[in-house]
Chain A
């Protein structure tokens, strides 16, 4: 007993000492800020450049100029471009664009709807099929059939290619620790580097057109495919693998017969995430002439036409939900088939397939031949109604809530954001640097402190210290709000199936509705401010956090909950003492994903008044002489992401170790 008590008090003392140390560091910071306010803040004006930015610009120019002489571009890139262009154009010819000398695509709306429904039925289930049919018809009803098909064509092509690249690489990363270590930082980079930074250069190499849009989409959509596939391959039970090896399976055989089949379900989750990522690029890709719904959204934004933007955004959301539900159903089918020992005998399955394909073929033929089945009937267009309703709603919200939202904005900005930001930006950079490293050391470990030091040094070198600090302040505030929402709503969702059913579609919408759609109303409510940017980030990031927390809560063993209830725990005690602590890993994941999502909105924030790094990136995309600075700002965002991620991970590790009563790992 005694040593246990000793250990516990030991841990407690250490924790208290650590807490005091952190407080001391913060106090020193406050003091330093008060004394040295405004000194060595490394401020840089919006149009000002450092020599580094200029040389980055020149470097980019040099690459541009070598385009016509460098064999790498002449051959390699050109062939990739040709291939990508052909691939997208082919799918467009099938479903969206007039082709083969006809005024309509090969498959009209009826054919596409039939085919998609058939796929959903054969690989998913009846419910998914019904949803698919309804979703596709709704594109027509919204008056956006062709735009939707263009988006679908681009998304599907990008997804197929992403998977063709991502799954093999994921398998490799799953089998080889070395490659896994090598590829992870690259994927981090691809996911946090703002698209705006590489959008313009891409069009130089892949030219304006489907190829560039596809590559831009793939850069964002490949990482989840690789990560999740690798995860699936890695989690295959070592027992089964060993059994395979003991029977003399070669690496290839063990991959084919053991790893891949056993990772199949996880890989389908990866497919699902890849689709979501690809779709979330629809709007941004429209900036380089990618066809489809994204263009409609951007065009509408030029005239602040909320209704039209919403209409198109709604189509994107519907597409995301349909694709999500179909792939999820497909993954569950794999599982269900296995459990039930195949629902149908091969003969019957064949019959079913033949029947479904037969109907599809008939629909396809009709839509190839007859105008009514090729072009969605214009009379059935409810787009204008949706637009007017959205417009009215937007205007009403802006007019009636603005007083209240303005007050909220001022309260939070003046009470929380501004003091925090001025502490970060008003103190000398070396003070913030030292404080950050000390905090990383105290809440995390030496490695985190090292990463922090290196990262902050890079920020200084990039010449964007102050902008980075402004962005950091907003990012942290947004992440805190995301986590607060995540815990409150996530717990609710995790405990109530009804809440889950109601909220899930709302969250899906929040995640896939292009931010550009709701920028106008929130701008109306909060003005062009950092707070608006924070709200946009929260709208985008909170759904992920909420879903992950809910998932964690649901995973808590029912026996434990039952045991706690049996000793008379109140609901509140149950949540705070049992469910939340046990859902810890879910919460950690929620925080880190929430952070990544918040960071990926930094650029959108730049469009609505957040200034700082987001604005630098946007300006770099818009003005030739600022593009070096834009690139630097993109790098700074990546660095912020890496530093925050490392510190957060180290802090969780330490907390976990402390929770298990032991010493933190070295």
Chain B
């Protein structure tokens, strides 16, 4: 299976209308939660004074259609709470959630159910499969509860089972499958409903590294094939960088930074994020745009040409083998130049 490299993906234009918009979202656990909304108290003081935990604090962001939007943070930073608030598996305390302009928070019981059945589906860290049902029956579950006729739902289920590479395991039971296979079932179950948005809550954290990588590639492949909007929770930075078109970083329930992977690595918002990204091989993430400099007046400008969004790693060969500065151009205009000195600096891990 050839895995499309992320670098080849065309970045989504900012002009694409958002499919999901979250504004000023709060989730407070504890007594008299709504009184805590807006607090500036820190975690421990809040707990001491009110007995409450503010798991999500005033988070706003928007997700574009077709985007892979990653939410990242240390364990306990409120990621799971945030993603559950989106479909109100956890009832938010305050804020606004707009799905294609519809206010999710105002939906009544019935509309909320419809939304969960048709528009957003979730994949869970611990799979949440039904142990008494075989793979195929697990996959049809979502269709079954929304009343799709038996014939149709099995046709559809076989289709997605094929899509996630489970063909041949239709009649196995969950406990006969490996973790990776089980998560494929979870994925198939979510896909079966053909939702507009797929939510993933650390879906691969429970898997061992090899399987995890395989599953990550699988998600990338699926994203290419079905082009769904995905909101992906992880605590693993490399996973976030690998999958995310954009990354939202959380700390103690608060949003710290939103940006593309190279923005996050190249321009960390604060020390928390900087710490986070310090171990990342920057050359794998940053593009030429981040290291190019203006051409010196006496430099020859007839070297090879590269785009600004080429990842440094991919440019190494060209730059190092050229005997003159490489020109970074976009639409014919010269943006800057890159020489082996810049490349070496990044690879050697120095600060830009």
**Residue in B130, B193, B199 whose CB lies within 8 Å of A261:** B130
- Contact (Cβ within 8 A) A341 B172: yes
Question: What are 28 pairs between A and B in contact, CB < 8 Å?
Answer: A240-B128, A240-B131, A242-B124, A243-B127, A244-B128, A244-B141, A245-B116, A246-B116, A246-B122, A246-B199, A247-B116, A247-B142, A247-B189, A248-B113, A248-B116, A248-B118, A253-B145, A257-B141, A257-B144, A257-B145, A258-B130, A261-B132, A261-B133, A262-B130, A262-B131, A338-B132, A341-B171, A341-B173
A247 to B133, CA, bound (A): 16
A339 to B177, CA, bound (A): 11
Q: Is A48 part of the binding interface, using a Cβ–Cβ cutoff of 8 Å?
A: no
Q: A243 — nearest CB in chain B belongs to which residue?
A: B128
- Encoded as 1 (CB less than 8 Å from any B CB) or 0, chain A from 223 to 267 comes to 000000000000001011111111111100100011001101000
Point out the residues of chain A lying under 8 angstroms from B116, CB to CB.
Answer: 245-248
Q: A247 — nearest CB in chain B belongs to which residue?
A: B142
Q: B90 — nearest CB in chain A belongs to which residue?
A: A242
- Contact (Cβ within 8 A) B130 A240: yes
Interface of A is mostly: helix
- Contact (Cβ within 8 A) A246 B145: no
**Residue in B117, B127, B131, B172 whose CB lies within 8 Å of A247:** B117
Q: Is B146 part of the binding interface, using a Cβ–Cβ cutoff of 8 Å?
A: yes
Contacts A239-B126, A242-B89, A341-B172 given; indicate if A247 touches B145 (C-beta within 8 A). yes
Chain A contributes a number of interface residues (CB within 8 A of B) equal to 22
- Encoded as 1 (CB less than 8 Å from any A CB) or 0, chain B from 106 to 132 comes to 000000111111100110101111111
Contacts A240-B128, A262-B132 given; indicate if A248 touches B173 (C-beta within 8 A). no
| Nearest chain B CB to A250 CB, angstrom units | 7
Residues B82-118 near A (CB distance < 8 A): 87, 89, 112-118
- Contact (Cβ within 8 A) B130 A257: yes
Give 13 new A-B contacts, CB below 8 A, not counting A246-B121, A261-B132: A240-B129, A240-B130, A244-B145, A245-B89, A246-B87, A246-B122, A247-B121, A248-B116, A249-B145, A261-B130, A341-B134, A341-B171, A341-B172
- Contact (Cβ within 8 A) B122 A243: yes
**The 6 A-B residue pairs with the shortest CB-CB distance in the complex, in nearest-first order:** A243-B128, A248-B117, A248-B116, A247-B142, A246-B122, A239-B128
**Residue in A245, A247, A258, A339 whose CB lies within 8 Å of B175:** A339
Q: Is B176 part of the binding interface, using a Cβ–Cβ cutoff of 8 Å?
A: yes
- Encoded as 1 (CB less than 8 Å from any A CB) or 0, chain B from 161 to 180 comes to 00000000001110110000
Q: B115 — nearest CB in chain A belongs to which residue?
A: A248
A241 to B129, CA, bound (A): 9
- Contact (Cβ within 8 A) B129 A264: no
A157 to B253, CA, bound (A): 57
Contacts A339-B173, A341-B173 given; indicate if A248 touches B132 (C-beta within 8 A). no
Q: A341 — nearest CB in chain B belongs to which residue?
A: B173
Point out the residues of chain B lying under 8 angstroms from A242, CB to CB.
Answer: 89, 124, 128
Chain B contributes a number of interface residues (CB within 8 A of A) equal to 35
Point out the residues of chain A lying under 8 angstroms from B124, CB to CB.
Answer: 239, 242-243, 246
A341 to B112, CA, bound (A): 35
Contacts A239-B124, A341-B176 given; indicate if A247 touches B193 (C-beta within 8 A). yes
Point out the residues of chain B lying under 8 angstroms from A248, CB to CB.
Answer: 112-118, 142, 145-146
Q: B132 — nearest CB in chain A belongs to which residue?
A: A261
- Encoded as 1 (CB less than 8 Å from any B CB) or 0, chain A from 425 to 460 comes to 000000000000000000000000000000000000
A271 to B17, CA, bound (A): 57
Point out the residues of chain B lying under 8 angstroms from A237, CB to CB.
Answer: 126, 128
| Nearest chain B CB to A248 CB, angstrom units | 4
Q: B112 — nearest CB in chain A belongs to which residue?
A: A248
| Nearest chain B CB to A328 CB, angstrom units | 19
- Contact (Cβ within 8 A) B130 A338: no
Q: B138 — nearest CB in chain A belongs to which residue?
A: A243
**Residue in A241, A247, A338 whose CB lies within 8 Å of B141:** A247
Point out the residues of chain A lying under 8 angstroms from B199, CB to CB.
Answer: 246
Interface-central residue, B115, B122, B128, by most chain A CB under 10 Å: B128
| Nearest chain B CB to A635 CB, angstrom units | 38
| Nearest chain A CB to B124 CB, angstrom units | 6
A residues apposed to B, CB below 8 Å = 237, 239-250, 253, 257-258, 261-262, 264, 338-339, 341
| Nearest chain A CB to B178 CB, angstrom units | 16
Interface-central residue, B144, B145, B172, B175, by most chain A CB under 10 Å: B145
A242 to B87, CA, bound (A): 11
A648 to B141, CA, bound (A): 45
Point out the residues of chain B lying under 8 angstroms from A239, CB to CB.
Answer: 124, 126-128
A258 to B142, CA, bound (A): 12
A247 to B130, CA, bound (A): 13
Point out the residues of chain B lying under 8 angstroms from A257, CB to CB.
Answer: 130, 141, 144-145
Point out the residues of chain A lying under 8 angstroms from B115, CB to CB.
Answer: 248
Point out the residues of chain B lying under 8 angstroms from A246, CB to CB.
Answer: 87, 89, 116, 121-122, 124, 199
Point out the residues of chain A lying under 8 angstroms from B186, CB to CB.
Answer: 243
Residues B171-226 near A (CB distance < 8 A): 171-173, 175-176, 186, 189, 193, 199
Point out the residues of chain B lying under 8 angstroms from A241, CB to CB.
Answer: 128
Point out the residues of chain B lying under 8 angstroms from A250, CB to CB.
Answer: 113, 145
A249 to B144, CA, bound (A): 10
A243 to B124, CA, bound (A): 7
| Nearest chain B CB to A62 CB, angstrom units | 47
Interface-central residue, A237, A246, A250, A339, by most chain B CB under 10 Å: A246
Point out the residues of chain A lying under 8 angstroms from B121, CB to CB.
Answer: 246-247
Contacts A243-B124, A248-B146 given; indicate if A338 touches B131 (C-beta within 8 A). yes
Q: B118 — nearest CB in chain A belongs to which residue?
A: A248
Point out the residues of chain B lying under 8 angstroms from A249, CB to CB.
Answer: 145
A237 to B175, CA, bound (A): 15
Q: A256 — nearest CB in chain B belongs to which residue?
A: B145
- Encoded as 1 (CB less than 8 Å from any A CB) or 0, chain B from 303 to 314 comes to 000000000000
Point out the residues of chain A lying under 8 angstroms from B112, CB to CB.
Answer: 248
Point out the residues of chain B lying under 8 angstroms from A244, CB to CB.
Answer: 128, 141, 145
A262 to B131, CA, bound (A): 7
Point out the residues of chain B lying under 8 angstroms from A262, CB to CB.
Answer: 130-132
Q: B125 — nearest CB in chain A belongs to which residue?
A: A239
A257 to B144, CA, bound (A): 10
Residues B58-91 near A (CB distance < 8 A): 87, 89
| Nearest chain A CB to B186 CB, angstrom units | 8
Point out the residues of chain A lying under 8 angstroms from B145, CB to CB.
Answer: 244, 247-250, 253, 257
| Nearest chain A CB to B127 CB, angstrom units | 7
| Nearest chain B CB to A233 CB, angstrom units | 15
Point out the residues of chain A lying under 8 angstroms from B89, CB to CB.
Answer: 242, 245-246
- Contact (Cβ within 8 A) A338 B122: no
Point out the residues of chain B lying under 8 angstroms from A240, CB to CB.
Answer: 128-131
Point out the residues of chain A lying under 8 angstroms from B122, CB to CB.
Answer: 243, 246
Point out the residues of chain B lying under 8 angstroms from A258, CB to CB.
Answer: 130
A241 to B126, CA, bound (A): 12
Q: A334 — nearest CB in chain B belongs to which residue?
A: B132
Q: A254 — nearest CB in chain B belongs to which residue?
A: B145
Point out the residues of chain A lying under 8 angstroms from B171, CB to CB.
Answer: 341
Q: A241 — nearest CB in chain B belongs to which residue?
A: B128
A511 to B58, CA, bound (A): 61
A241 to B145, CA, bound (A): 14
Q: A261 — nearest CB in chain B belongs to which residue?
A: B132
A257 to B128, CA, bound (A): 13
Residues B265-293 near A (CB distance < 8 A): none
A240 to B128, CA, bound (A): 4
| Nearest chain A CB to B73 CB, angstrom units | 20
Contacts A239-B126, A243-B122, A246-B122 given; indicate if A264 touches B132 (C-beta within 8 A). yes
A420 to B126, CA, bound (A): 55
A258 to B129, CA, bound (A): 10
Point out the residues of chain A lying under 8 angstroms from B193, CB to CB.
Answer: 247
